[in-house]
């Protein structure tokens, strides 16, 4: 091991020329799970992962730690593909069952990522927000969730779990688990190394065409290439295919027992809210709160924000959210960071495989990539090895979405969308609206998010 700008390097740099059966670009969850399933399906194949920085440098080392049932995208849009609503239901069911599949794989591989399946709570702070959750639950039912999988909670039921001051009520989803993201990515990297996968860090791929990968210090020939670069995909897949949307997080210092007595949160549920500029949070294994939200949404020209510097304004906004949830408790912030999600023009993720070029990709998970990386990586391995499974015909396989607009329209569009969401939250709260405002509907339409 050696030290670099981002901490300890665990794997060597690639240098020279080599050939592999499968070359994977990107050392995040998708690349790692894809390598895991290739080795499980065909142990004799040689597999190498090339990571530009360090394993877990991308969103996989920086996320909110939810393994959730949520699919990466809009179920209504997937239902418009040739598989229809049945295809969307199958996709949804695959994500629900994958939560337990991930947890049992972690157990089989001896990976301790602080995993706890405590479910997820969605809090409504306004009547309009509560009504959105009621509608959301109806949609969940139509895509196959059961009464046991998604329950409506009134204010006191919600507060008996997490004692948020201004909550109206909310939803409880059963199939969501909390993890420590960095522990998961490193545990997974160790597991695939044990299976014989070679991992190279500080080994950026500068081009990948017809089975030839050019790196800064060498060339790799591969029978099959997987592009698993999510929010960083611009240089390899094209800057208009996916854009990097920023998300920022803070983690508090460890809270006192007295504070936890006031807050509750004993079952380690993941937490979000129904605001348009929503937050997501978890109680960590060492008794802190990690909470995230949008911060600066998008950098002109698809910038990826480097190692994740976070504006003080964003830190204060997230801290203020916690103070509003739990008045009377002072939250000291220990760390703040940011990362990027890959977002397609209609916010739907996609797994693609081209047997002619031997190249595939699994990208565009928006904010729901922890489970999506497992399902996408697994599906990519199956498609590349010519296996048929319940996953290989899901509607996100081969799903195509139109390109993002060129700059500066793209930048203006994303800024406007987030501005509309911010205004809509204030409007709905100040006017005590019963229904979602037209402003928010306009933002959703602009983004293509409405279901
Ligand atoms: C702050 C934040 C919070 C989030 N919270 C959640 C959550 O709670 N639950 C959830 O489901 N999802 C969440 N997400 C999304 C989720 O983390 C991601 O979707 C998921 O980790 C994507 O994994 P990945 O392996 O596809 O991509 P990444 O983890 O981004 O990995 C891509 C890797 O590719 C490398 N790379 C890029 N270009 C090259 C190249 N040319 N050569 C070699 N390597 C290259 C990058 O350095 C990077 O390490 C969050 C994301 C962020 C940023």
| Cα distances (Å, whole numbers) of residue 271 to 118, 166, 245, 341 | 10, 15, 21, 19
Between residues 447 and 338, which one has the greater pLDDT? Answer: 338
Query: What percentage of the chain carries pLDDT values higher than 90?
Result: 81
Q: Which two tokens stand for residue 323?
A: 């103070």
Which pLDDT band, with edges at 50, 70 and 90, does 307 fall under?
Answer: confident
- How far does residue 340's CA lie from ligand 1's centre (Å)? 7
Residue whose pair of structure tokens reads 């002072």 in the numeric block: 330
Q: Which residue CA neighbors atom 2 of ligand 1 most closely? A: 63
pLDDT at 26 over 80: yes
Write the secondary structure of 119-140 as one string of H (helix), E (strand) and C (coil).
Answer: CEEEEECCHHHHHHHHHHHHHH
- How far does residue 342's CA lie from ligand 1's centre (Å)? 8
Instruction: Domains for the chain: give ranges and CATH numbers.
Output: 2-98+183-240+345-384 (3.50.50.60), 120-174+243-343 (3.30.9.10)
For 404-423, write each residue's pLDDT tens digit: 999 998 888 888 877 777 76
Rounded CA-CA distance 225/24 in Å is: 6
Residue 439's pLDDT is 64
Residue 123's pLDDT is 96
Q: Which of 26, 204, 281, 310 to mutate to test the pocket of ligand 1 (most atoms within 8 A of CB)?
A: 26
Kind and range of the H or E run holding 261: helix 257-263
Residue 312's pLDDT is 94
Rounded CA-CA distance 24/48 in Å is: 6
Residue 128's pLDDT is 85
Compute the mean pLDDT over every residue in the chain, rounded to the nearest whole number.
93
Per-state percent for the chain, helix, strand, coil, to nearest 5 = 35, 25, 40
- How far does residue 373's CA lie from ligand 1's centre (Å)? 9
Residue 427's pLDDT is 66
pLDDT at 36 over 70: yes
Query: What percentage of the chain carries pLDDT values higher than 70?
Result: 92
Q: Which residue CA neighbors atom 16 of ligand 1 most closely? A: 369
The alpha-helical segments, DSSP class H, found in 143-256 are: 155-161, 181-194, 234-237
Residue 275's pLDDT is 77
Which pLDDT band, with edges at 50, 70 and 90, does 232 fall under?
Answer: very high
Q: Which residue CA neighbors atom 32 of ligand 1 most closely? A: 229
Mean pLDDT over 239-259 rounds to 96
pLDDT at 316 over 60: yes
Mean pLDDT over 338-359 rounds to 96
- How far does residue 33's CA lie from ligand 1's centre (Å)? 13
Which pLDDT band, with edges at 50, 70 and 90, does 433 fall under?
Answer: low
For 267-284, write each residue's pLDDT tens digit: 999 999 887 777 999 999
Find residue 334's DSSP bridge partners. none
Residue 3's pLDDT is 53
pLDDT at 450 over 60: no
Q: Which of 280, 296, 233 is nearest to 63 (CA)?
A: 280
Between residues 368 and 426, which one has the greater pLDDT? Answer: 368
Overall size of the chain counted in residues: 451
Residue 126's pLDDT is 87
At 44 the three-state DSSP class reads coil
Buried b (16+ CB within 10 A) or exposed e, 361-378: bbbbbbbbbbbbbbbbbb
Q: Which two tokens stand for residue 124?
A: 């409504």
Q: Are strands 120-124 and 270-273 parallel, antiparallel or unpaired?
A: parallel
pLDDT at 175 over 70: yes
Query: Cα 196 to chain center, whole Å?
Result: 27
Residue 136's pLDDT is 95
Mean pLDDT over 136-163 rounds to 97
Residue 333's pLDDT is 97
Residue 420's pLDDT is 72
| Cα distances (Å, whole numbers) of residue 200 to 8, 13, 95, 191 | 14, 5, 30, 15
- How far does residue 59's CA lie from ligand 1's centre (Å)? 3
* Contacts (Cβ under 8 Å, ≥6 apart) of 39: 45, 47, 192, 195, 196, 197
Residue 447's pLDDT is 65
Mean pLDDT over 280-305 rounds to 91
Which pLDDT band, with edges at 50, 70 and 90, does 448 fall under?
Answer: low
For 43-102, write each residue's pLDDT tens digit: 999 999 999 999 999 999 999 999 999 999 999 999 999 999 999 999 999 999 999 999
φ, ψ for residue 119 (rounded to 5)?
Answer: 80, -170
* Contacts (Cβ under 8 Å, ≥6 apart) of 124: 130, 132, 133, 167, 168, 169, 170, 273, 274
Ligand 1 pocket, residues with Cβ under 6 angstroms = 25-31, 50-53, 57-60, 62-66, 68, 204-205, 228-232, 235-236, 247, 249, 280, 292, 339-341, 365, 367-371, 373
Q: Are strands 289-293 and 280-283 parallel, antiparallel or unpaired?
A: antiparallel
For 372-396, write each residue's pLDDT tens digit: 999 999 999 999 999 999 999 999 9
Counting Cβ atoms within 10 Å, is residue 220 exposed (0-12), middle (13-18) or buried (19+)?
buried
Q: Which of 178, 336, 324, 320 is nearest to 248 (CA)?
A: 336
Q: Which residue CA neighbors atom 22 of ligand 1 most closely? A: 369
Residue whose pair of structure tokens reads 């390598």 in the numeric block: 35
**Ligand 1 atom nearest to 376, measured from its CA:** 26
């Amino acid at each position: 091991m050696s030290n670099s700008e981002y901490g300890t390097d665990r794997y060597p740099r690639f240098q020279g020329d080599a050939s592999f059966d499968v070359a994977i670009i990107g050392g995040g969850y998708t690349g790692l799970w894809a390598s895991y399933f290739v080795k499980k399906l065909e142990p004799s194949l040689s597999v190498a992962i090339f990571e530009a920085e360090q394993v877990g440098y991308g969103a996989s080392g920086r996320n909110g730690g939810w393994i959730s049932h949520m699919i990466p995208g809009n179920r209504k849009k997937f239902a418009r593909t040739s598989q229809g609503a049945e295809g969307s239901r199958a996709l949804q069911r695959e994500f629900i069952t994958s939560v337990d599949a991930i947890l049992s794989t972690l157990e089989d591989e001896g990976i301790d990522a602080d995993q706890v399946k405590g479910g997820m709570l969605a809090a409504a702070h306004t009547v309009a927000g509560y009504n959105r959750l009621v509608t959301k639950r109806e949609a969940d039912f139509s895509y196959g969730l059961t009464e046991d999988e998604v329950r409506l909670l009134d204010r006191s039921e919600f507060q008996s779990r997490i004692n948020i001051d201004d909550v109206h009520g909310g939803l409880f989803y059963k199939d969501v688990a909390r993890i420590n993201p960095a522990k998961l990515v490193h545990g997974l990297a160790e597991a695939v190394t044990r299976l014989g996968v070679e991992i190279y860090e500080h080994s950026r791929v500068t081009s990948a065409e017809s089975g030839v990968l050019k790196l800064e210090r060498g060339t790799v020939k591969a029978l099959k290439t997987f592009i698993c670069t999510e929010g960083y995909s611009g240089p390899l897949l094209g800057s208009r295919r996916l854009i990097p949307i920023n998300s920022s997080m803070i983690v508090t210092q460890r809270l006192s027992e007295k504070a936890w007595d006031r807050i509750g949160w004993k079952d380690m549920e993941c937490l979000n809210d129904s605001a348009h500029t929503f937050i997501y949070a978890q109680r960590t294994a060492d008794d802190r709160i990690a909470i995230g939200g949008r911060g600066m949404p998008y950098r002109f020209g698809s910038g990826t924000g480097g190692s994740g510097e976070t504006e003080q304004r964003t830190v204060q906004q997230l801290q203020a959210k916690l103070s509003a949830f739990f008045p009377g408790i002072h939250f000291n912030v220990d760390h703040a960071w940011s990362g990027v999600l890959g977002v397609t023009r209609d916010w739907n993720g996609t797994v693609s495989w081209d047997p002619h070029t031997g190249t595939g990709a699994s990208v565009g998970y928006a904010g729901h990539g922890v489970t999506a990386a497992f399902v996408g990586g697994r599906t990519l391995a199956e498609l590349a090895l010519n296996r048929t499974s319940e996953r290989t015909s899901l509607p996100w396989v081969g799903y195509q979405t139109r390109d993002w607009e060129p700059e500066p329209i793209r930048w203006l569009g994303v800024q406007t969308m987030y501005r509309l969401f911010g205004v809509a939250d204030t409007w709905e709260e100040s006017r005590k609206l019963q229904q979602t405002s037209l402003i928010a509907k306009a933002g959703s339409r602009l983004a293509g998010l409405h279901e």
